[in-house]
Amino acid sequence: MEKAADLGVPEMRPVEMAMLHEALRRGWADMKRAPGFDLLFSSAYVVIGLLLAAVTWGTGQSYWLVFAAVGFPLVGPFAAVGLYEVSRRLEQGQALEAGKILGVVVQQSRRQLPSICAIIIMVFLFWFFLAHMIFALFLGLSTMTNVSTSFEVYLTPNGLTMLGVGTLVGAAFALILYMITVISMPLLLDREVDFVTAMITSFQTVIENPLPMLAWAMFIAAVTFLAMIPAFLGLFLVLPLFGHASWHLYDQIAMRDA
């Protein structure tokens, strides 16, 4: 019989750069031991990404990106929990039984995880609204007939300014999401704690360890961006790696015996 999750937030160790390397090493080892589960959970992201790109490109209608703003935050946390659970079981020497792993994902859907999803969705939708405002501010009077045939407008002074401002604002939103989820997601799987406390703990951990935690964020962002370039196919490798590594980073930080 599996042990119930402990109550409350554990004390957090200071984060060191060496922990990031160790998390990646352990994550890679988990990938080699559980490739089937990696394929299962990463497929959700890749398939949705390909479908959204195909529909947007085929119709020329950028409003399909609204579905991306809603769909990805909904799928992502549940896929991440599945990968965390695989790593947790490997770490504890438990069998990788598909039914039990998927059962944990279902169980999390009835606890605090949907609340985290709701917060992520609100941030995404607010960013989507703000992005439209930035676009209208700089390119509202430009002639654009189709998102797949009007790329030259982005090379104008207004277009380049819009891209610059949009990138900075988008990066700020991405940083906020990272700060409230990087520790809270594995924490919710590991302990009985409410989602607000989990997000605050995650935020504080980043604030107290800015260099390694921001380095981790930039590394994830850069590698994930590169992985998306070849038709999202690189995500089959990158997402499981970072999913497993995120659990192992949390595992090194959390002082469970405290």
Enumerate the β-bridge partners of residue 255.
11
pLDDT at 61: 56
Domain interval for residue 140: 12-255
| 163 contacts: CB under 8 Å, gap ≥ 6 | 154
The torsion angles phi and psi of 7, rounded to 5 degrees, stand at -90, 145
Enumerate the β-bridge partners of residue 31.
none
Q: Mean per-residue pLDDT for 193-198?
A: 92
Q: Do the beta carbons of residue 134 and residue 162 sit within 8 Å?
A: yes
* Res. 72: pLDDT tops 60: no
Q: Is residue 92 part of a domain?
A: yes
CA atoms within 13 A on the CB side of 108: 29
The number of distinct structural domains making up the chain is 1
Q: Is residue 43 part of a domain?
A: yes
Q: Is residue 4 part of a domain?
A: no
* Res. 239: pLDDT tops 50: yes
Who has greater pLDDT, 19 or 9?
A: 19
Q: Which amino acid is at 225?
A: F
Q: Is residue 89 part of a domain?
A: yes
pLDDT at 217: 92
The distance in angstroms from the start CA to the end CA of the chain is 24
How buried is residue 255: exposed, middle or buried, by Cβ count under 10 Å (0-12/13-18/19+)? exposed
CA distance 249 to 18: 10
Q: Is residue 86 part of a domain?
A: yes
At residue 145 the predicted structure's pLDDT band, cuts being 50, 70 and 90, is very low
What is the rounded average pLDDT for all residues in the chain? 82
CA distance 133 to 154: 16
- Single out the residue of 254, 249, 257, 253 nearest to residue 87, CA to CA: 249
Q: Is residue 145 part of a domain?
A: yes
Going by the DSSP 8-state scheme, the letter that residue 2 receives in this structure is P
At residue 1 the predicted structure's pLDDT band, cuts being 50, 70 and 90, is very low
Q: Is residue 6 part of a domain?
A: no
Enumerate the β-bridge partners of residue 12.
254
Global pTM value = 0.82
Q: Is residue 141 part of a domain?
A: yes
- Single out the residue of 144, 150, 154, 209 nearest to residue 12, CA to CA: 209
- Counting other chains too, the contacts that 96-104 makes at CB distance below 8 Å and 24 or more residues apart are 96/34, 96/37, 98/37, 101/37, 104/189
pLDDT at 76: 65
Q: Do the beta carbons of residue 37 and residue 229 sit within 8 Å?
A: no
